[in-house]
Amino acid sequence: MTHNQNRSTIIRIAIVFFALILISKLFYLQVISDKYAEKAASLSIRAVIEFPDRGLITDRNNEIIVFNEDAHDLVVHFPFNKKEFDLDEFCRLVRFSKNEVEERLANARSSRYNGKGLFIKNLSATEFARIQEGLFQFPQFSIESRSDRKYKHNIAAHTLGYVAEISRRELERDKKEYYDIGENIGKSGLERHYEELLRGVKGKKYYLKDNTGKLKERYENGKNDTKAAVGKQLMTSLDVLIQEYGEKLMAGKTGSVVAIEPSTGEILAMVTSPGYKPDMFAIKNLGKNYSKLASDPEKPLLNRATSSVYPPGSTFKVAMALIALQEEVITPNTRFSCSNGFHLGGLTVRCHSHASMPNVQYSIQTSCNAFYCNAYREILHQDKFKTIEEGYNNWRGYLVRMGLGSTLGTDISSEKPGNVPNAAYFHRIHGENKWNYARIISMSIGQGELLLSPMQMANMSAMVANRGYYYTPHFIRGENIPNDFTEKHETGIDAKHFTTVIDGMRAVMTNGTGAYVQIPGIEICGKTGTAQNPHGENHSIFIAFAPKDNPKIAIATVVENAGYGATWAAPICTLMIEKYINRDSVSQRPALENKMFTSAITDKTKHE
Amino acid sequence: MSEKIYGQSRVDGITLLLYFVLVIFGFLAIYSSSHGTEQFHLDFSTQYGKQIIWIAVSVVVGAALFLIDVRFFEVFSYAFFGFWMLLLFLVIFFGVEVNGARSWFAIGSFRLQPAEFAKFGVALALSRYVSDIDTDMKSLRYQLITAAIIMTPIALIVLQGDAGSGLVFFSFILVLYREGLSGNVLILGIAAVIIAVLTFNFGFVVLVAALVILAGIITAFIYTNTSMLKWVWILALTCIGYSKGVDFAFNHLLQEHQQKRILVMLGLLDDPQGLGYNVNQSKIAIGSGGFWGKGYLQGTQTKGDFVPEQHTDFIFTSIGEEFGWVGSTVVIVVFVLLFMRISMLAERQRSKFSRVYAYCVLSVLFFHFLINIAMTINLAPVIGIPLPFFSYGGSSLISFTALLFLLLRLDANRENELDSYY
Ligand SMILES: [Zn+2]
């Protein structure tokens, strides 16, 4: 029997051998490879998301502009067990054909994220009621509710921005992995800039689910759950009254208005035209409106207040006068001769006819070009500068400190820097230091290479109103305001020089180019401008602030293709000021107001 | 013999202990997979509640075996065999269909799977026949009758549509090996499986080409030895013929779902939502258990019913998930200890009937253990056979218990055996 007893040993060895194979494979599955643990987690735990209400947006007086209404999506959870799925019944519930259901399931599967795919987006109220009723039969589906934006005041679309479904790219950039597919995110404007503040924090409740997707008890008794926190309310600096008013005034025109409270840098209104109503980009409307507006040749999506740049024209003379006074190349009494313009060799810069030999105040009042051509020479070619580059950089330094030619850093994106060329640019064109003021003389009257956005012009106006400093223009107001916006930006121009220049701007309104739009009882200081437009009629520009002492509002308006600054931009500016200061009282100039409301400036009828 | 003849020996306590350890471990797993809560609550409508009844019934049945005369089973072994073969035959016509197999009798709410008990009958008949003094192991008659005892239930069970349970009976080859069957038969069997697998993997044509080239290379080396050469080519042609047979059987005899099942099992067909779904879920559940496991009643996959058939054929996933690698290894070690003990009991029997029977028990238990756990970790095809003492269900628990307890009964009586055959 020894032979057969050897066999019993072989059998025992075989048993141990096979047992070791099992143990080794188990060791691989359970200890070495960790992919199964991850799969298990994704399969068996479902996070039920609690979406907090998005923060409301109000104007500066706590008037609500944006609030929420609920939107509902039907989502499907994967893995999807077809065996337990009654397709016919489901087709009846959602009122789709079998093919459509299959197709949507396939789409949801291919675009699923964290085991969840979108089956129907934005259920209508009736769909929502019907589907919610019968959904208990289909535990693999659930309705997820989100908020959509609603607008109490359907204004300021470019400022507010919009909210929409997060894109794949944004999801990939979301390093904190806060967002899931199908969720919403602020796409532009304040909705985007203050996304983290507005969105709040979603809550997550973790449940165990079974293989049909049915929820069972709380995972680990809810110890991993997180509480939802409601989005914070965003108080903006906007004033609904003049924002709404500005949009009406700009109707039918192309251009923009920016109004700033000088003492804080808060933007009171930012109007761009042609524009659109913000509710056109509410989630439920976005699909049908977006491509239409995006392809509109009038570019209603373009925020002209920050993204369009123009030569500031004569409004720039305010800055020029201040620099010349600060550099002490002129005094308030310095006069330059003007014989219907500035003449140097073959170069002529024409001037409107006015009494000869203006001083600085009078040059602002009458917008004398010759004065600034001369002043530019004095600024750039001082004895202390060895080269034109030094003189030019000194001058340019003032502009940079005034926030011109670079982005200001407001709290909406889409800001364009404009252009204040550096010396290197002219070195390239004319040769190293082989140029002088005459070569760049058009910049002295706000033309040539100089390009500013309406936002920068308004900010320049605010800086003048403040007598020498500004705060970065911004839309946020109240306790959440970042430090950047409370920091004073000094321009290095002494307050005493402003008296002269502001007197000039006041004279513009009383006796000068803006005289016909003055308003009894409000001391407005302003400056007209006309930006040369090589493509058509000139752009009408106006900057102003009021009242002269303790200014409450600084404003800039550009109306494209509208001719002289005094004809269109000035009335709009002063009407805005009047509305802001006198609030509810009716305009003292109803005819002018009505003309602004009703006139349209198209390519055919450029100006009267 | 010695003075101990007619002495009263006792029930083997070690086997009994190992048995209860496995049954209790099994109950814990079923409790978890059938939604047991931390607050135990006796409810006989639940699966774990019913399992308590089955455990009680099994222990009673096992104890009852000790009341029956020990000669009874040997004397009536063929009658037992005949009885269960008859039931296997009848169930084809009168059984109810479960999961595509007509292998259950249903009398009211009571269900019986004769295939589970047929193992018992085959074990007894095989023990009786192999141990019979008149049996000449070398004779063709012996071999044919032995084959018939094993193949009859296989044929009947395959006819029920439950090929997996049929495969179990091949495990009795282990008994025959112990009793003197040439080891070449086992090697031949393994070779047959390997060629079949290669055929599925690479296709008949490639396999023929490979065999011919291999034979050609061998020929080049041993071309002087003509008698060797003859055998090399006979072997190669046999392989080719066999491979063709497998190929034909696969493509023409098997139904599509059976073909799929084989391909999925061999890893040639990826089908995580269909046939591979069970195995995939099973691997996820076990794999997610990690080293120490998620803790008893803490298994997310177990709680969520992710693994189909978890309380029956995939009960091991619950162990793997909640007790981790450590717990899985403990269970395997307890099984191995039981097998070692059974093998020891077998070798200490004086009666050849008892020894052969002991190996029958070992073979059946080991085959179930090996294939069941292997299929949960994708090392074996998914054939629906239970894990002894673990899987939920009365038929399997009672039959495994009876199988084991009869061995204990025989062992307890071994001192009284005057084995006349030796
Ligand atoms: Zn002049």
Tell if the CB–CB gap between A18 and B301 is shorter than 8 Å: no
Query: Which pair of structure tokens corresponds to residue B398?
Result: 């009672």
Which of B265, B327, B269, B262 shows the shortest CA–CA distance to B294? B327
Q: Mutate which of A26, A42, A43 to test chain B, going by most B C-beta atoms within 10 A?
A: A26
CA angle B324, B330, B332 (to 5 degrees): 105
C-alpha span between A315 and A310 (Å, rounded): 11
Query: Which pair of structure tokens corresponds to residue A128?
Result: 């929502």
Residues B234-249, buried b or exposed e (16+ Cβ, 10 A)?
A: eebeebbeebeebbee
Tell if the CB–CB gap between B286 and A21 is shorter than 8 Å: no
Q: Does domain A303-598 have CATH number 3.90.1150.30?
A: no
* pLDDT score of B253 more than 80: no
Q: By the CB < 8 Å criterion, does B180 face chain A?
A: yes
Tell if the CB–CB gap between B284 and A41 is shorter than 8 Å: no
β-pair partners for A229: A201
Whole-Å CA distances, A520 to A505, A510, A515, A553, A574: 16, 10, 11, 17, 11
Closest residue of chain A to B321, computed from CA coordinates: A30
The residues on A that touch B, with CB distances below 8 Å, are 4-5, 7-8, 11-12, 15-16, 18-19, 21-23, 25-27, 29-31, 33, 35-37, 39-41, 43-45, 79, 82, 208-212, 216-217, 219
Strands (E), A231-381: 234-236, 255-261, 266-273, 341-344, 347-350
Tell if the CB–CB gap between A7 and B333 is shorter than 8 Å: no
C-alpha span between A225 and A203 (Å, rounded): 7
Which of A246, A419, A213 shows the shortest CA–CA distance to A316? A419
Q: Looking at per-residue confidence, does B259 or A154 come out higher?
A: A154
Q: Which pLDDT value is given to residue A607?
A: 39
**Complex ipTM:** 0.86
Q: Could you tell me the distance, in angstroms and rounded to a whole number, from the CA of residue A442 to the centre of ligand 1?
A: 14
Q: Mutate which of B284, B297, B356 to test chain A, going by most A C-beta atoms within 10 A?
A: B284
Which of A399, A463, A387, A369 shows the shortest CA–CA distance to A431? A387
DSSP letters spanning B360-377: HHHHHHHHHHHHHHHHHT
C-alpha span between B308 and A493 (Å, rounded): 81
Q: Which helix (H) or strand (E) holds A477?
A: strand A476-477
Are A216 and A243 in contact by the 8 Å Cβ rule? The answer is no
- The mean pLDDT value for B205-220 works out to 85
Q: Which pLDDT value is given to residue A416?
A: 93
C-alpha span between B303 and B309 (Å, rounded): 13
Q: Mutate which of A13, A33, A36 to test chain B, going by most B C-beta atoms within 10 A?
A: A36
DSSP 8-state assignment for residue A315: G
Q: What is the 3-state secondary structure (H, E, C) of A536-593?
A: CCCEEEEEEEECCCCCCEEEEEEECCCCCCCCCHHHHHHHHHHHHHHCCCCCCCHHHH
Q: Mutate which of A12, A20, A30, A39 to test chain B, going by most B C-beta atoms within 10 A?
A: A30
Are B123 and B364 in contact by the 8 Å Cβ rule? The answer is yes
Which of B110, B18, B31, B128 shows the shortest CA–CA distance to B71? B128
C-alpha span between B44 and B298 (Å, rounded): 23
Q: Which pLDDT value is given to residue B287?
A: 87
Q: Looking at per-residue confidence, does B312 or A311 come out higher?
A: A311
C-alpha span between A115 and A75 (Å, rounded): 10
Whole-Å CA distances, B62 to A116, A488, B279: 52, 94, 34
User: Which phi and psi angles does A38 have, rounded to 5°?
Assistant: -65, -45
In this predicted structure, which of A271-285, B210-224, B351-365, B390-404 has the lowest mean pLDDT? B210-224
CA angle A410, A411, A415 (to 5 degrees): 55
Tell if the CB–CB gap between B332 and A7 is shorter than 8 Å: no
In this predicted structure, which of A515-524, B28-37, B365-374 has the lowest mean pLDDT? B28-37
* pLDDT score of B78 more than 60: yes
* pLDDT score of B420 more than 70: no
Chain A residues touching B343 at Cβ < 8 A: 8, 11-12, 15
Q: Which pLDDT value is given to residue B272?
A: 55
**Where do the structural domains in chain B lie, given as residue ranges?**
3-188+259-416, 203-254
Chain B residues touching A39 at Cβ < 8 A: 284, 287-288
Give the residues of chain A that fall short of pLDDT 50. 1-2, 604-608
- The mean pLDDT value for B96-108 works out to 77
C-alpha span between A516 and A573 (Å, rounded): 13
Query: Which pair of structure tokens corresponds to residue B18?
Result: 């190992």
Q: Which pLDDT value is given to residue A1?
A: 46
Q: By the CB < 8 Å criterion, does B139 face chain A?
A: no
Tell if the CB–CB gap between B287 and A36 is shorter than 8 Å: yes
Question: pLDDT band at residue B5, thresholds of 50, 70 and 90?
Answer: very low
Query: What is the rounded radius of gyration, in angstroms, for the C-alpha atoms of chain B?
Result: 23
Tell if the CB–CB gap between B290 and A30 is shorter than 8 Å: yes
In this predicted structure, which of A336-345, A541-550, B52-61, B121-130 has the lowest mean pLDDT? A336-345
Q: What CATH number has the domain spanning A45-70+145-249+261-302?
A: 3.90.1310.10
The number of residues in chain A equals: 608
Q: Which pLDDT value is given to residue A485?
A: 93
Q: Could you tell me the distance, in angstroms and rounded to a whole number, from the CA of residue A353 to the centre of ligand 1?
A: 7
Query: Which pair of structure tokens corresponds to residue A375?
Result: 């002043």
Q: What SS3 class is residue A86? A: coil
Instruction: Please name the member of A31, A44, A219 whose beta carbon is closest to the beta carbon of B306.
Output: A44
Tell if the CB–CB gap between A40 and B346 is shorter than 8 Å: no
Q: Which pLDDT value is given to residue B235?
A: 84
Are B38 and B367 in contact by the 8 Å Cβ rule? The answer is no
Q: Which pLDDT value is given to residue A353?
A: 78
Can you say whether residue A277 is alpha, beta or left, with left for phi > 0 and alpha for psi between -120 and 50 degrees?
beta
Which of A570, A498, A560 shows the shortest CA–CA distance to A535? A560
Tell if the CB–CB gap between B377 and A45 is shorter than 8 Å: no
Q: Report pLDDT digits (tens) over A137-195.
A: 888 888 887 778 999 999 999 999 999 988 888 888 887 778 877 788 999 999 999 99
- All CATH 3.90.1310.10 domain ranges of chain A, comma separated, are 45-70+145-249+261-302
Are A415 and A506 in contact by the 8 Å Cβ rule? The answer is no
Q: Looking at per-residue confidence, does B131 or B270 come out higher?
A: B131
Strands (E), A167-280: 184-186, 203-209, 215-218, 234-236, 255-261, 266-273
Distance of CA A574 to the CA centre of its chain: 25
Instruction: Identify which of A29-33, B48-52, B82-86, B207-211 has the greatest average pLDDT.
Output: B82-86
Q: State the count of interchain CB pairs (< 8 A) between A and B.
A: 117
Whole-Å CA distances, A551 to A47, A461, A465: 54, 11, 6
* pLDDT score of B323 more than 80: yes
C-alpha span between B214 and A255 (Å, rounded): 87
Q: Could you tell me the distance, in angstroms and rounded to a whole number, from the CA of residue A258 to the centre of ligand 1?
A: 29
Chain mean pLDDT for chain B: 83
- The mean pLDDT value for B307-320 works out to 85
Q: By the CB < 8 Å criterion, does B291 face chain A?
A: yes
Q: Which pLDDT value is given to residue B21?
A: 95
Q: Which pLDDT value is given to residue A255?
A: 94
Residues sharing a CB contact under 8 Å with residue B99, sequence separation 6 or more, in sequence order: B384
- All CATH 3.40.710.10 domain ranges of chain A, comma separated, are 303-598
Q: Which pLDDT value is given to residue B8?
A: 55
Whole-Å CA distances, A63 to A78, A215, A481, B144: 44, 43, 18, 98
Q: Which pLDDT value is given to residue A249?
A: 93
Q: Which pLDDT value is given to residue A287?
A: 82
Q: By the CB < 8 Å criterion, does B323 face chain A?
A: no
Give the CA-trace dihedral at A65, A66, A69, A75, to 10 degrees: 170
